[in-house]
Structure 1
Amino acid sequence: MTEDFLSGTTGNPWESGTLALVEEAVRKAAAVEIMPRFRQLAEHEIIEKNGPHDLVTVADRSAEEHLTASLTALLPGSVVVGEEAVHADPAVYDALKGDAPVWIVDPVDGTRQFVHGDPGFCTLVALARHGEVLASWTYAPVLDEMATAVRGHGARVDGMPIRSGSPAPGTPLEVATSHPDFTTEAQKQALLALRTDGIRSRPCGSAGLEYLDVARGDLDAVAFSWENAWDHAAGLLLVAEAGGMDLTLAGERFRITGGNALPFTAARDEATARRIHALLAAPGSV
């Protein structure tokens, strides 16, 4: 059912028109619910969920409600696992293990940037079933940039195919990592192993936009210590379809249903992924 929804009658998802319908829904939610509030938020419209680094705004909540209605209308019988819905009821996350097609939604990925008036945020949508991500949409509304991926059919930015390529030999690897505030002590020590010769690490911004940079070869890798599906599903498919690879601390592929050994990495090619994984798995070694 889900595969038919993506491919339509043509058998080619890029020609079916379905991707464009989802893209239109994402763009409309951003235009109606997010952009009118960009740099216009009142103090009471910003709420701390779990401390000062975990914010939610009226734009997050309104955009998720908007997307929930529009996406489930496009695919009857589908359900939504959204960041704000799961915050209100953690049991919603269990839908990722069910039989129904699931829309995974992060209405404003990079809420901290959004709150501060920084354009480095995006809206993330992925379509999954039985724990496998089938398609994804990453939209940066300020930049008006849309990245889309379909499992087995590649990745595109604004309609143009992208490939991640490999780092230039002998150049330091550029890696975006979890902020220390979002790590356990063990995870922090693992990430500190990336502070070594040949690697330049920095705290990440919007996870979705970091994944986009990996997919088009502007960033070599990411290393994250949390596994919320809404932050990673869209970007991991984008990276994979552009030619990249992801590995958890256990040397396995990341599972959107959870239970991953953390931290994990996603990189622009296999060699880079394995190099970053080796450092994370054996802190202090090269």
Structure 2
Amino acid sequence: MIDDYLAGDLSAVEEAIRKAAAAEIMPRHRQLAAHEIVQKSGPHDLVTTADRLAEEHLTASLTALLPGSVVVGEEAVHADPSVYGALGGDAPVWIVDPVDGTRQFVRGEAGFCTLVALAVRGEVLASWTYAPVLDWMATAVKGRGAWLNGERLLPGPPEPGADLRVAMSHPDYTTEDQKRALLVLDTPGVRARPCGSAGLEYLGVARGDQEAIAFSWENAWDHAAGLLLVTEAGGAHLTLSGEEFRIAGDNAMPFTAARTPETAERIRALLASASSG
């Protein structure tokens, strides 16, 4: 189905992402001036000049690659929330997070990435996760697998009897109710920790570095790329109700994505026990 939209030339998307990062993100890594960092909703919700300019760069290049497509980007939606509604429309949608892990980027750390996904009528067809400092380019195409720098991602099941390593929503970004819902993961057999960049946490699941994530927010730009990456690597994702996560929203939260369907159900059941207790 992806060939109906990009004629099989997925490398052009990868090149567009690399160019945006090289032009707008990396020159500002560890070089940000104070006036280039702005708070949005609070002290933990930051945006930088690099976020804005990289999203503008990607908006121009990606829509040129696919005429008639639209972009749902984090910064565009912040400026105009109605943009998010395109996820429910018929036009192909590029879902963009120009700098996922802005806090890490501001600190001068390596743990940030650019996330791009292509979706049509709520179905994610392809995704790209690019960590420029680490030189990681992870890609996934629906029905064709997940890859990191040209190597197939197939982590397989967790080690029998080992604790499940789970990255969960960072407490700085959660409400008190969300904290209580995720507290159930503090249990024998699970080693939970606060997440960093959502995109890199998904990649960690697809690589087998950890077993699962458990998140409590719905923003499509944080999840679309990673959800396809995990499922194409053999994993699964489930919301609290047992349904798959829908990028357009209206999900029963929190939700999980895991390296195997069995692990996803185990984490979902734990999360459900908190809501029913």
TM-score between the two structures when normalised by the length of structure 1? 0.94
Asked if residue 221 in structure 1 is aligned to residue 188 in structure 2, the reply is: no
Shift of 1:5: 2.6
Q: Distance in 1 between matches of 2:46 and 2:176?
A: 23
* Partner-residue secondary structure (3-state), 2:202: helix
Aligned residue in 1 for 2:22: 31
Aligned residue in 2 for 1:11: none
Q: Which deviates more from structure 2 when the two are superposed, residues 159-168 or residues 206-215?
A: 159-168
Q: Distance in 1 between matches of 2:87 and 2:150?
A: 29
Aligned residue in 2 for 1:96: 87
Shift of 1:267: 0.4
CA RMSD of aligned residues (A): 1.4
Listed one character per residue, the Cα deviations across residues 186-230 of structure 1 (whole Å, up to 9, x for unaligned) are: 322121000000110000000000000101111100000001000
Letter in 2 for 1:81: V
What is the aligned length? Answer: 277
Q: Distance in 1 between matches of 2:55 and 2:147?
A: 24
Shift of 1:96: 0.4
Q: Which consecutive residues of structure 2, in runs of 5 or more, have no partner in the other structure?
A: none
Listed one character per residue, the Cα deviations across residues 88-116 of structure 1 (whole Å, up to 9, x for unaligned) are: 00000000000100000000000000000
Asked if residue 160 in structure 1 is aligned to residue 144 in structure 2, the reply is: no
* Partner-residue secondary structure (3-state), 2:274: coil
Choose from 146, 157, 175 the match for 1:184. 175
Letter in 2 for 1:4: D
Aligned 8 A contact 2:205 2:230 in 1: yes
Q: Which deviates more from structure 2 when the two are superposed, residues 151-160 or residues 108-117?
A: 151-160
* Partner-residue secondary structure (3-state), 2:217: coil
Identity fraction in percent: 75
Q: Distance in 2 between matches of 1:138 and 1:207?
A: 11
* Partner-residue secondary structure (3-state), 1:76: coil
Aligned 8 A contact 1:175 1:222 in 2: yes
Q: Distance in 1 between matches of 2:247 and 2:155?
A: 22
Letter in 1 for 2:214: A
Listed one character per residue, the Cα deviations across residues 227-248 of structure 1 (whole Å, up to 9, x for unaligned) are: 1000000000000000000001
* Partner-residue secondary structure (3-state), 2:10: helix
Aligned 8 A contact 2:119 2:126 in 1: yes
Aligned residue in 1 for 2:109: 118
Aligned residue in 1 for 2:4: 4
Aligned residue in 2 for 1:201: 192
Choose from 134, 139, 142 the match for 1:143. 134
Asked if residue 246 in structure 1 is aligned to residue 230 in structure 2, the reply is: no
Letter in 1 for 2:24: E
Aligned residue in 2 for 1:266: 257
